[in-house]
Structure 1
């Protein structure tokens, strides 16, 4: 059964600075993991780890009613942020995995998901085996802080 996300994960015409941030984030993550940009097989193998929840003992699937509008999608984002922060506070490693949205039909069939719901993301939950992800988060936050310092503030 072939799957596809029911919504675009990235805007089809994503422009800078958003696309540059997305690419920079991916480069930083794969760099911390030791996967070179030209190592297509290594990148594909790392991407495939999404679908075993990076080896975590718990995998959550977040679904939402497809009739909801953007405001409620923002609510789901806020819920996810709280879930991730609370897990981290308790020493658990986790992240939101948009890659799961591409497995919508497969997961829908496996979980017998009711029709009004669409698969939004996956969330692994467990203890980190290494500090790589934490290093990546810290480096990523530093890059954002640098970008904020360098940004011009426009006032009318």
Structure 2
């Protein structure tokens, strides 16, 4: 006899997601919205064509509207593969004390699967990555921890 799974059978597990098209990227973008990171946690390895960020991601998937415990964040690694060029605007890499807040990730498709990945930050900062093909991964690398602010991120409407 088989039985349907119940809610209690589920368990929280670290995210480990990939995106190879714009639809998949929308999911990752929604999960990294309001992630914060010090500017020195951005790395571009030109020889490997890999761009990475170590984020302190708000756990939107933890249903922040209906909760009985503290809001949480988790450290996650966001990696963009196949990067050919990197350009930025409004992001001063020389100021090592800068804290960035990631608002969204978008993909502007070009020819033959190539295009530009646009990372948009609060305060009008942006990083544009020209990629040969869309290949992005998001992986949680620590256990969740109580959000230092104790608050859910909010945006003026």
TM over 0.5: no
- TM-score by length of structure 2 reads 0.23
**Larger RCO (CA within 8 A; separation ≥ 6):** 1
Greater helix share, structure number:
1
- TM-score by length of structure 1 reads 0.23
